[in-house]
Structure 1
């Protein structure tokens, strides 16, 4: 199973939604990084369930334990193992679908691939697994902070409600001031009310998480197959419920002419090279060029809804799947720290890989 990621800064996650816990082993983290437990816990708290009435009401503290790799508050250079114990599993909520295939879930594909599946909350396919990524991503963020790199994601769209402003026109410090994690307070309120209305209907809705990375220097990325934007795309598309990724001008760029889309270079007063526009999204030829890196991640409506849906069971008979349990009506508010964490893992790996690119 593809549970590992990275070439130098590598992670391997483990655990299931309704097992004893979930966790991650991190290899390749340099020694001497200050291990800020409070910061890592704060990142997990941003992702944890039960934050408001528009998120799943599963109650998990998501407090992590360090099993290895940290001594006297700093990383030792050896493998770091972190574990998060599951505390509020309700496996009985899933007994009714033990032999049924839920629409748009991984039930059928896991059964076909492995011949067995953990139906309790989806087992390994559950988004609960992403808590381990957030923990590892928080450590990657600590490494990147020492390089002056910052990563900020936010909700830019829920259903048809979409921010008209770019990240440069928004006050991103407002992102954490509301339950939706949208930096526009007026739009955030509209999004909240819409998600709540969808929840009351027993349905779900998708959305978009946007992300901007500042401070990444020019030179990060490994052509030809390990281009920076390709790895960011892979990382984002590995997140549960993600259906699309675009960076820079994205699909909107097709409406421009080359003369309009090209990013012209200039030298500023400090003799630093910049581009006058940034349609490239901070990446050219698969390598960072020193400008802001920005991208969008599209999330589908959550597959589990509180409505009856027709499907089939493992015997091929028609079955009615009943929506039960505790689920998010919209995943994007809790996905913000996941997007940031995965972006941090990509950049931390490329930072370390870039150190071997030339003498």
Structure 2
């Protein structure tokens, strides 16, 4: 046994933590502001403005991260006394979601926040909303046309891989593993571009410290598939130094496989930022996880409010809401986990 994950805790990601705290939730509700203990820019944007109606359509909550996307969006809308949030039923059916957006258009809402079941399939109806003068905020899954959204807010899948790879490199260096390090990867659904982006980022970051992905298996973002993929990996490889699992929901199954095999000689890294993962980090059962913010739709609600009220972003010299925003992918470790725990989602 070369090392245990509980002995490999590192203080990386602190600066990213400060950046995340600087943009923590604020609103008109005093209770929400009490929960925000980090530094915050105060501007007239926080004051009640013109009353607006925002339509929100998200996916079916069949995954912890997706459930958090929906719940944080609803919670954000409730913080503003000048916002009426109309929430469509979550769905994985593009046709049903198209119907929801058509209803929003017919009702004349002031803005729409949309995490599409399928970006290409929802492009036409989103474009119709834009042509009707309703700004659309596209979340996470991009449309196939620039004309379908006023602004797009995304997590950073490639950046997740880079963050995980950089952290793995720090473990290699600090534990003097050199070229003998055995690095494994448990990916998500291989056919998805987001999985490919995460893998590309991980691979390319590892190359900066002379490492490679020695063993790679793919799961399907579910507990069952995670357990199966991890079991296959452990059966095939006798000793591993570092394992990066792309998704903390499938990580429940991955960790179950580790326990069944009685294997813990490796540093276990996760992805997305579930509360399970953060509790494991606190208990010394997991090295770190990389955030894929479940607050993207909540940020979308904020941006939609600004757009509907003809406001800009107070912290920019050019105040207009940007056309595209990519959120950071910080690493959560035992040293900074308390700062991120409120952003975690239940698997």
- Structure 1 or 2: more helix by fraction: 2
Identify, as 1 or 2, the structure richer in strand. 1
**What TM-score, normalized to structure 1?**
0.28
Instruction: Give the TM-score, by structure 2 length.
Output: 0.28
